[in-house]
Amino acid sequence: MTKAKPVLVSTRKTASGHDIGIITLNALAAMNAVDLAMVEMIDQQLQQWQRDSRVVAVVMRGAGDKAFCAGGDIRKIYDSMQPGEDQYQYADDFFRGEYAKNYRVHLFNKPLIAWGNGFVMGGGLGLFIGANHRVGTESLKLAWPEVRIGLFPDVAASWYLSRLPYPVGHWMALSGSHMNAPDCRTLGLTQYALQHTDYDQMLQRLKKASWGTNKAENHRTVRTLLHDMEPAAEAVMPASELASAQDDLQQLFASRELADIALQFARYAGDQPWLQQGIANFHKGCPATAALIIEQLQRGAFLSLKEVVQWELDLAWQAVRHPDFAEGIRAMVIDKDYAPQWQHSSVDQVPAEWVDALMAAPWKPADHPLKDL
């Protein structure tokens, strides 16, 4: 039996004789989680279509109905962190390749429509967030859940989360909470909210649209087309989680000090299930990651997107070599006992020196692997 290709590529001819490119992440068994080979295939295809004047727009989606992409293939990363001749090699290659290629997604200047259905997390969120036209469907569950595995919110999360209205970015990072389509649209994490069943209709409209060589006009065509489809989807959208939780969130994050936030989380007696779940995630999550997040969002607010991508590679290099990340993957993915033994029992026990070590650059600026982004 021929093994299915992990990334499917096709085009659709438009009425004006141009092409619409379609990229489908096709790893259904892994909820379309991406490995290094998949990231490289997507990058090569986007570069090819960037140069091809016949291609006027691109659609990127996940196969099936459950996920655009639920993250990176962290099993392979875990294997590479085990002692051996090539220890860390795949993990280092993965993060270096993922960050560089995801950054190039941001630079793709033709309309790139990312179809955010189901889970959009981790490495998949890195691809999704770089698209210049992001659609969320009624089943969207967008999250940076890395606190649960002892990593950190990456793939440019330092840039995006630090620029959300306080305290939403901090809540997302510390809790790994899923954000639905209405809330993502309100926050600007997506620009459109459509039904998943609208996908074929969208393709038909793209094929019939008027396209030319002016990229700005083509972007306007996509914006108009997608916005015109939104009213029909309003009835199937879930209610905002964020709107009903705003007052409680403001109280939980009245202080920006992690110790105070953790204390407020422990004292929370409200009846918001979304907040209760997020607080439970925090308590199960990695204390060192939580401590790093506070520094991460403070620094990320003053860095450019390019600088964020470069800096996050420093953090990833260190995370791979610190024990919490491997332990988190073991507990959540490998053994599935869901009982990670973190290096610190609470956020109060994480020394500043540990966080400093997680942020320390392992190379001089001139030697940085992403210095030429």
pLDDT tens, residue by residue, 243-275: 999 999 999 999 999 999 999 999 999 999 999
For 346-360, letters b (16+ CB in 10 Å) and e give: ebeebeeebbeebee
pLDDT at 271: 93
**Residue 226 structure tokens:** 């997608």
3-state secondary structure of 214: coil
- Phi, psi at 156, each rounded to 5°: 75, 15
pLDDT at 303: 98
Distance CA 269, CA 90 (A): 44
∠187-193-195 over CA atoms, to 5°?
150
Please name the residues in contact with 356: beta carbons below 8 A apart, sequence gap of 6 or more: none
For the chain, give every domain's residue range: 7-367
Q: What is the dihedral of CA 362, 169, 181, 38, to 10 degrees?
A: 0
The letter for the amino acid at 87 is Q
Distance CA 15, CA 329 (A): 48
Full-prediction pTM beyond 0.85?
A: yes
CB-CB contact of 344 with 322 (8 Å)? no
pLDDT at 2: 61
Domain over 7-367 is classified CATH 1.10.760.10: no
Which residues of the chain have a pLDDT value below 70? 1-2
